[in-house]
Amino acid sequence: MGNWNEFEFNEPYEGDAVAEINGIALPQQYIDFMLQHNGGEGDIGETWFVLYPLEELEEINQDYEVSEYLPGMIIIGSNGGGEFYGIDSDGSYFNVPETMEEDCITYFGTDLDMLPDKINEFWKEQ
């Protein structure tokens, strides 16, 4: 598992099964992770990372009109300061500034376990 550093996980998810948000299928690795941890937040090294709880994803994505600005993508978290993290319809994790411009997306691959490391590499290069 990647370097989650000072990240504080939430309690396990106990709600209804969630397989998709706004028509985007969630990767099984992500679902399994969220069933165990259901998000959380904390310092992962180079930045703060907030991983939204499953029960909040649909409302967050509707509030930010993600399907309009980033078709085929959903937002799953942020850095708490103007950057979002998400998953696309192919199961790839990404970063995008809050302006949600597709040409500003940085992809991190499909392995959730490595996401904190990929995010840290991204911020070291900035």
The pLDDT, as a whole number, for residue 111 is 95
Q: What is the dihedral of CA 54, 58, 61, 63, to 10 degrees?
A: -120
d(CA 54, CA 100): 21
- Indicate whether 52 belongs to any domain: yes
pLDDT tens per residue, range 78-92: 999 999 999 999 999
Question: Over pLDDT 90: what percentage of the chain?
Answer: 88
Question: What's the pLDDT at 17?
Answer: 87
| Between residues 108 and 125, the one the model is more confident about | 108
Is the residue at 42 inside a domain?
no
- Asked whether the predicted pLDDT for residue 1 surpasses 60, the reply is no
* Predicted local distance difference test score (pLDDT) of residue 20: 94
Q: How many structural domains does the chain have? A: 1
The answer to the question of residue 70 being in a domain is: yes
State the chain's mean pLDDT as an integer. Answer: 94
In a domain, 51, yes or no: yes
pLDDT category at 4 given cuts 50, 70, 90 is confident
22 conformational bin, left if phi > 0, alpha if psi -120 to 50, beta if neither: left
Separation between Cα atoms, residue 46 and residue 34, nearest integer Å: 23
6 within a domain of the structure (yes/no): yes
For the four alpha carbons of 119, 121, 124 and 126, in that order, the dihedral sign comes to: negative
Spell out the long-range contacts of 82-88 with Cβ–Cβ below 8 A and sequence spacing 24 or more: 83/47, 85/49, 85/51, 85/115, 85/119, 87/24, 87/26, 87/27, 87/30, 88/24
Instruction: Tell whether 84 is covered by a domain.
Output: no
Antiparallel, parallel or unpaired: β 24-25 and 48-51 = unpaired
Domain that residue 72 falls in:
1-27+47-77+89-94
